[in-house]
Amino acid sequence: MSASAPPTKTRLDQQDERIINATDGLRGALGSTVSRVRSGDLGAIPVIAGTVVIFVVFQILNQFFLSPANLSNLLTECAALGVIALGIVVVLLVAQIDLSVGSMSGVASAILGVGLTQAGYPLWLTVLIAIAVGAVVGLIYGASFNYIRMPSFVITLAGLLILLGLQLKILGPNGSINIPFTSPIVEFMQNSYIPRTAAYVLAGVVAGAYLFSQVRRRQRRIKHDLSSASVLSIGLKTAAALVVLEFATWYLNKDRGISAPFVWFVVLVVIMNIMLTRTRWGRSVFAVGGNAEAARRSGINVNRVYISVFMLCSVLAAVGGLMVAGRLATASISSGVGDTNLNAIAAAVIGGTSLFGGRGSAYSALLGIIVIAGIASGLTLLSLDASVRFMITGAVLFIAVAVDSLTRRSRQAHGKA
């Protein structure tokens, strides 16, 4: 008995002898990561590994691919579509789908084009109108889903066509409207970069914020008599984050640096992650995605969750559409058509959000869109045309869903579905 007695005080969550990860600190953290991966809970590992492979292959094929100029450009390119994918992530979390995000973004860009030029509205008003239209569309989707009980893919498929028609109607006979280059949104999307020194400071602030949140978490856990990460492991993780961020900043700063749209996208991702993991709303989103009936019986207003999710998705699609229009300085009948929908959905799934609901993270929008944008950029550098790009993006999506399904099976086998 005395030999097996724990050397230090046993925390509340470590008193059961069958506990899987009973060790505190660095070794415990490493051990739990390894056992998680073994049982099929891969988290972000497949997408990160896949990204590395894809990027290395493209670099071998074309030396320009990993250059600061191309990477900087790539990150800017992915911001708009990434915002749309972020909305898809939230809808997928409740096991639903929105197929109309492309058309929704097209409507928003049409509103921006017409509002700024023909109607002569100020920028803030057009942006507000576009976002309000997104909110109303999401509200209609959510209401049809809740009260008519239509499947979401049919609702949004109908929405896709209706919004496409609305986009053509708003644009009028010209079909294409140029947005003046002097408009702040064009300026923001095309030419705004974080000043070099500010970028280094920003990277430091992000690492500092990470350190702060981890230390606070550790303090709270100790206060509540729970096991916690060791100071050493927190320090090492922070140091690693700081080195990676500062290195990335330095590398991108060799060209134009980090673009403001990309930072804006990342800020949205981080806010969404906090909302999903730390708030009541986020908890109810996961609950509805996991077992809607159980959520209902727990007193969660399931209908309100669905409505909030559909509204959020449409609003983010509208924001993404505004960003696309600003980036291209034009709103046209081709805005948001074609592969926008599927790329946004593919990005969410490639990033690791399950199609089966209840599993995923806001960060999957970020990771997934980098893969999609990387493929597009690499194939453009190789002067391969759209036909190849579609096929390769499709193949990557296929692999991502295959990995999702296979690891789901492995998780079930290990009792961690």
- Of 118, 176, 191, 279, which lies in the binding site for another protein, with binding defined by CB under 8 A? 279
Q: Would you call 187 exposed, middle or buried from its count of C-beta atoms within 10 A (0-12, 13-18, 19+)?
A: middle
Task: List the one residue out of 296, 380, 358 whose CA is nearest residue 74.
Answer: 380
Handedness of CA 407, 48, 201, 237 (dihedral sign): positive
- Of 225, 231, 244, 395, which lies in the binding site for another protein, with binding defined by CB under 8 A? 225
Which tokens belong to 192?
Answer: 């705004």
Tell me the closest approach of the beta carbon of residue 264 to another protein, in angstroms: 23
Rule CB under 8 A: say whether 297 interacts with another protein. yes
**Spatial distance between the Cα atoms of 217 and 101, rounded to a whole number of angstroms:** 37
Rule CB under 8 A: say whether 13 interacts with another protein. yes
Rule CB under 8 A: say whether 9 interacts with another protein. no
From the list 14-22, 51-59, 165-173, 375-383, the region that binds another protein by CB under 8 A is 14-22
Other Cβ atoms within 10 Å of 180 Cβ, number:
9
Rule CB under 8 A: say whether 294 interacts with another protein. yes
Rule CB under 8 A: say whether 374 interacts with another protein. no
Rule CB under 8 A: say whether 389 interacts with another protein. no
Rule CB under 8 A: say whether 18 interacts with another protein. yes
Other Cβ atoms within 10 Å of 109 Cβ, number:
32
Tell me the closest approach of the beta carbon of residue 13 to another protein, in angstroms: 6
Rule CB under 8 A: say whether 414 interacts with another protein. yes
- Of 287, 344, 347, 403, which lies in the binding site for another protein, with binding defined by CB under 8 A? 287
Rule CB under 8 A: say whether 295 interacts with another protein. yes
From the list 156-164, 201-209, 219-227, 361-369, the region that binds another protein by CB under 8 A is 219-227
Whether 156 contacts 144, CB under 8 Å = no
- Of 115, 257, 326, 358, which lies in the binding site for another protein, with binding defined by CB under 8 A? 358
* Phi and psi, residue 321, nearest 5°: -65, -40
Tell me the closest approach of the beta carbon of residue 202 to another protein, in angstroms: 24
Handedness of CA 312, 90, 258, 105 (dihedral sign): negative
Quick one: 289 or 336, whose CB is closer to another protein? 289
Rule CB under 8 A: say whether 38 interacts with another protein. no
Quick one: 253 or 354, whose CB is closer to another protein? 354
Quick one: 268 or 305, whose CB is closer to another protein? 305
Q: Which amino acid is at 294?
A: A
- Of 196, 283, 329, 392, which lies in the binding site for another protein, with binding defined by CB under 8 A? 283
Quick one: 358 or 368, whose CB is closer to another protein? 358
Rule CB under 8 A: say whether 318 interacts with another protein. no
Which tokens belong to 407?
Answer: 């690891």
Task: List the one residue out of 222, 118, 226 whose CA is nearest residue 172.
Answer: 118
Which tokens belong to 114?
Answer: 């017409």
Would you mind telling me the total number of residues written for the chain in this entry? 417
DSSP 69-120: HHHHHHHHHHHHHHHHHHHHHHHHHTT---TTHHHHHHHHHHHHHHHHTTS-
User: Hey, what's the torsion of the CAs at 227, 228, 230, 233, to 10 degrees?
Assistant: 130
Q: How far apart are the first and last CA of the chain?
A: 37
Which tokens belong to 58?
Answer: 């493209």
Tell me the closest approach of the beta carbon of residue 295 to another protein, in angstroms: 7
From the list 13-21, 120-128, 261-269, 380-388, the region that binds another protein by CB under 8 A is 13-21
Tell me the closest approach of the beta carbon of residue 302 to another protein, in angstroms: 11
**Spatial distance between the Cα atoms of 175 and 268, rounded to a whole number of angstroms:** 31
Which tokens belong to 203?
Answer: 């990277």
Rule CB under 8 A: say whether 271 interacts with another protein. no
From the list 67-75, 218-226, 377-385, 398-406, the region that binds another protein by CB under 8 A is 218-226
Query: Which residues form the interface with another protein (CB under 8 A)?
Result: 12-13, 16, 18-21, 220-221, 223-226, 278-280, 283-284, 286-287, 289-291, 293-295, 297-300, 358-359, 411-412, 414-417
